[in-house]
């Protein structure tokens, strides 16, 4: 089972919004929110909350891809999130997430007994390529015990 399939199966909001996990690697995660009238806002595009969930889901996918091998000793947790809505989003939108720090640096901090924090940057785009939103989610790897 891929990370995307696992998230779709285990995260209720991902299932509710019918998120599509298109690519999940330690370098990039791409997740799409289909155009669904049940989740439209007052101007006919995806609701801000749905776009936030899309971006946060993309960030979680890349975190699991980059640090899934650390789950026996640390739990990934979102610490904070920022989102800016730049342009009107209409139709299907896609979130592309990337790590803001090298994974090796984060793991080195964990190895040193620290609780590392690292940003994940997300761009939300319409199908025409226009960036409709930008988001940053700061994550930590909380050591077990």
The pLDDT of residue 7 is: 85
The pLDDT of residue 64 is: 95
Strand order in the sheet with 117-126: 20-24, 29-33, 93-99, 117-126, 131-143, 74-85
The pLDDT of residue 63 is: 97
Is the CATH number 3.10.129.10 carried by domain 3-143?
Answer: yes
Alpha-carbon span 128 to 21, nearest angstrom: 19
Rama region for 91: left / alpha / beta (φ>0; ψ in -120 to 50; rest): left
CB 31 within 8 A of CB 2: no
The pLDDT of residue 24 is: 95
The pLDDT of residue 97 is: 98
Q: Counting Cβ atoms within 10 Å, is residue 124 exposed (0-12), middle (13-18) or buried (19+)?
A: buried
Q: Which two tokens stand for residue 34?
A: 């289909």
Is the overall model pTM greater than 0.75, yes or no?
yes
State pLDDT tens for residues 111-127. 999 999 999 999 999 99
CA 47 to chain centre: 17
The pLDDT of residue 145 is: 78
Alpha-carbon span 111 to 105, nearest angstrom: 10
The pLDDT of residue 69 is: 95
Q: Which two tokens stand for residue 43?
A: 């101007």
Per-domain residue ranges of the chain: 3-143
Helix (H, G, I), strand (E, B) or coil at 73: coil
Ranges of residues in the chain with a pLDDT under 70 are: none
Compute φ and ψ for 87, nearest 5 degrees: -140, 160
């Amino acid at each position: 089972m891929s990370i995307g399939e696992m998230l779709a199966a285990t995260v209720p909001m991902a299932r509710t919004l019918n998120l599509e996990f298109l690519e999940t690697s330690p370098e990039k995660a791409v997740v799409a929110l289909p155009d669904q009238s049940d989740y439209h806002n007052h101007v006919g595009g995806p609701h801000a909350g749905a776009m936030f969930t899309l971006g946060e889901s993309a960030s979680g996918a890349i975190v699991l891809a980059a640090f899934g091998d650390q789950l026996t000793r640390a739990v990934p947790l979102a610490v904070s999130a920022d989102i800016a809505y730049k342009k009107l989003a209409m139709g299907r939108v896609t979130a592309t997430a990337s790590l803001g720090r090298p994974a090796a640096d984060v793991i080195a901090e964990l190895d040193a007994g620290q609780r590392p924090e690292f940003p994940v940057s997300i761009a939300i785009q319409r199908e025409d390529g226009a960036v409709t939103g930008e988001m940053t989610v700061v994550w930590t790897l909380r050591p077990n015990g």
